[in-house]
Amino acid sequence: MTQSSDLQRRAFLTGAAAAATGWLASSGNSLAGPPLQVPVWTREQGAAIVSPPYGVPSRFEDGIVRRPRATPPIPTAASSGTPLQHLHGIITPAGLHYERHHAGVPAIDPDHHRLVVHGLVERPLVLSMDDLLRFPSVSRIHFLECSGNTATWNSGNPKWTVQDTHGLLSCSEWTGVSLVTILGEVGLKPGAKWILAEGADAAAMSRSIPIEIALDDAILAYAQNGERLRPEQGYPLRLFLPGIEGNMSIKWLRRLKVGDQPFQSREETSKYTDLMPDGTARQFTFTMEAKSVITSPSGGHQLRGPGFYEIKGFAWSGRGSIKHVDVSIDGGTTWRTAELQEPVQSKCLTRFRLPWDWDGGPTLLQSRATDSTGYRQPTKQQLITARGLNSNYHFNAVYGWQVGEGGAVTHVV
Amino acid sequence: MSFNRTQAAFAIAVFLLVGQAEAQTVGRYKLGHVADPGEIAAWDIDVRGDGTGLPAGSGNIEQGKAIFAESCAACHGDKGQGAIGDILVGGKGTLNTAKPIKTIGSFWPYAPTLYDYVSRAMPFNAPQSLTPSQVYAVTAYLLFLNGILPESAKLDASSLSRIEMPNRGGFTSDPRPDVPPPAASIQR
């Protein structure tokens, strides 16, 4: 706290000095501006209630939307990223939650949707949405991240924003039925070790899930951030596996089949596997390991001049909670402890903050997270040494943004 | 996962016992209804890597070639060389190079997975529209294009399950964390 106060005082003094030398005069920080006017919105009635009946963001925020990194050749089998640089707190608005669909978003009538649970069970069940809403419910806040997020081992574009580099990451309060509750209803038979989860979309997307993960903290989610799921997030029902790569949280969930071994679907053999330099591939790399990113300032931002800024970012780990975040304001030469903002929860985005007094010179801003298991986010070179360059998934290296002499912030390859 | 292997094994053991005890009655919450195999047959489509779940039917390469030309080539190229859809053919010997090409022939460990994926998700604009025999035919054609089946081959559940894919031994389990934790002196 003392360190923080000192910094703020120094930032203020530096800012005053900068103003005196004219650095900030053109950016609205001079001592007196023109007299304030009483604006038109104060002189007339605003909009009536229920206009619109379902609220939407201010029209002045209409640039804050999901975007694909590039125009996808097949828009139904593509992804769009969350604008993390524009978010506050840890919750992602449902309408900005990232998308990754393999065959588009189905329009499912919940009255006709069913969940089938069968295979190595005592009592196979067919459940309607009405049935599922009657079971005891749970609500928990967790991040969801695509295993292909930040697949930037050796590439990139200086113009990339954090939405481009880390946008396949979001965080919501998820509400539904604990999967353990439903597995208790059907009764697992001896030998039950894996569960195939299958979607009702045009890909009939399927993944095999080890029973340890299913019995841990998995949710059959029907709601997100207080409302029923958005269609893009699996309406009316999705699986949610906290801390696990996003594609396994099967959306539009229609079927769970219990078996004694993995089913070896296309998604868990030819797609979500990590190719090593010797030509072998790691399979079933489920957990999203500790990671962090600075969201402010970040790619695309333009700093207005030397002086005070608060460095802000997200840290998260699929193995537990965030214990510590280091931030470097000098390209990794020295590291300082960032403040973690409560709540700090397991498998959840955690906000970190560090006061920063920018001296106006070029520098590299970086962050690195340590989680409750003691694991610390590795460097890019450590990961390349361990995995080579062909392992497309689970890239979680220390990440940085370059601040240029004039204050332009850019992506660093 | 938030608990270790021993704890997980114990939890599963307890869970199985509870499951068996409850099975003698009905579900605790008495919601939903018991699934009849006939009721869920249209959804029970999974085919495991070892061929478990493959349906009756059969198809040959000539039939598969015609189906591929009509329903698949627009996205994957007329010989499976790839277009807006994935490359399906070739790539052998590239997995340990700077430009690996992951195809059915070079990468996929199980042949029945090909049947599973085509039957559940293809053709892209009309998924689940092919009959089992048509899916066997397309599967046979793709394995032929990859040099895994001769031109005279015909596939059914039994023959598809017996195919050994070239990269069958190419997969390992997750060794992470694969970067060691920092030394105690700098660990926070």
Contact A284 B173 (CB under 8 A): yes
What is the pLDDT at residue A377? 97
* Closest residue in B to A201 (Cα–Cα): B121
Structure tokens belonging to residue B156: 């059914």
- What is the residue-wise DSSP string for A133-201? HHS--EEEEEEEE-TTTT--SS---TT--HHHHH-SEEEEEEEEEEHHHHHHHH-BPTT--EEEEEESS
A155 has a chain B CB within 8 A of its CB: no
Q: What is the pLDDT of residues A200-225, one digit of tens each?
A: 999 999 999 999 999 999 999 999 99
CB distance A286–B174 less than 8 Å? yes
| B179 pLDDT more than 60 | yes
User: Kind and range of the H or E element at A16?
Assistant: helix A2-20
**Number of neighbours of residue A382 by Cβ within 10 angstroms:** 15
**What interface predicted TM-score (ipTM) does this complex get?**
0.90
* Interchain proximity B46–A257, CB inside 8 Å: yes
Most B CBs within 10 Å: which of A212, A367, A382, as the mutation test of the B interface? A212
Which tokens hold the place of A287? Answer: 């957990």
pLDDT of residue A153: 80
What are the backbone angles phi and psi of residue A316, rounded to the nearest 5°? -160, 160
- Please identify among residues 17-76 of chain A the ones whose CB lies closer than 8 Å to any CB of chain B: 73-74
Interface size A-B, in CB pairs within 8 Å, comes to 218
Q: Which tens digit of pLDDT belongs to each residue from B2-34?
A: 445 555 555 555 555 454 444 444 689 999 999
Each residue's pLDDT tens digit, A25-80: 444 456 789 999 999 999 999 999 999 999 999 999 999 999 999 999 999 999 99
Using CA coordinates, name the residue in chain B closest to A269. Answer: B108
Q: Do B40 and A116 touch (CB under 8 A)?
A: yes
Chain B hits for A390, CB-CB cut-off 8 Å, are: 98, 100
Stretch 341-360 of chain A: residues touching chain B, C-beta under 8 Å: 346
Judge residue A259's burial from the number of C-beta atoms within 10 Å of its C-beta, 0-12 exposed, 13-18 middle, 19 or more buried: buried
Q: Tell me what pLDDT residue A22 has.
A: 40
* Contact with chain B for residue A117, Cβ under 8 A: yes
Mean pLDDT of A281-287: 98
Set of chain B residues whose Cβ sits within 8 Å of the Cβ of A336: none
- How close, in Å, is residue B162 to chain A by CA atoms? 16
User: Could you read off the pLDDT of B51-81 as tens digits, one per residue?
Assistant: 999 999 999 999 999 999 999 999 999 999 9
Which residues in chain B are closer than 8 Å to A376, comparing Cβ atoms? 181-182, 187-188
Output phi, psi for A281, to 5 deg. Answer: -130, 140
Interface test mutation site (partner A, options B117, B130, B187, max chain A beta carbons within 10 A)? B117
Q: How far is A412 from chain B (nearest CA, A)?
A: 22
Residues A159-183: tens digit of each pLDDT: 999 999 999 999 999 999 999 999 9
Partnered with residue A315 across adjacent β-strands are A292, A350
Residue A201 forms contact with B (CB below 8 Å): no
Q: Which residue of B has its CA nearest to A281?
A: B171
The tokens for B129 are 């529209």
Please tell me the number of Cα atoms within 13 Å of A347 on its side-chain side: 24
A chain contacts of residue B8, beta-carbon cutoff 8 Å: 212, 215
A32 against B39, higher pLDDT: B39
Q: What share of chain A is helix, strand, coil (3-state, %, to 5)?
A: 20, 30, 50
**Interface-testing mutation among B113, B176, B186, with chain A (most A C-beta atoms within 10 A):** B176
Residue of B nearest to A394 (CA): B176
> Is A131–B31 a contact, with Cβ atoms under 8 angstroms apart?
yes
Grade residue A14 by pLDDT with cuts at 50, 70 and 90: very low
pLDDT at B26: 60
Task: Show residues of chain A in contact with B170, CB under 8 Å.
Answer: 279-281
Considering only CB atoms, B108 lies closest to which of A255, A270, A284, namely: A270
Best to test chain B binding among A118, A257, A269, A275 (most B CBs inside 10 Å):
A269
Comparing alpha-carbon positions, the chain B residue that sits nearest to A270 is B108
As a whole number, mean pLDDT of residues A386-395 equals 96
Neighbours of A123 (CB within 10 A): 18
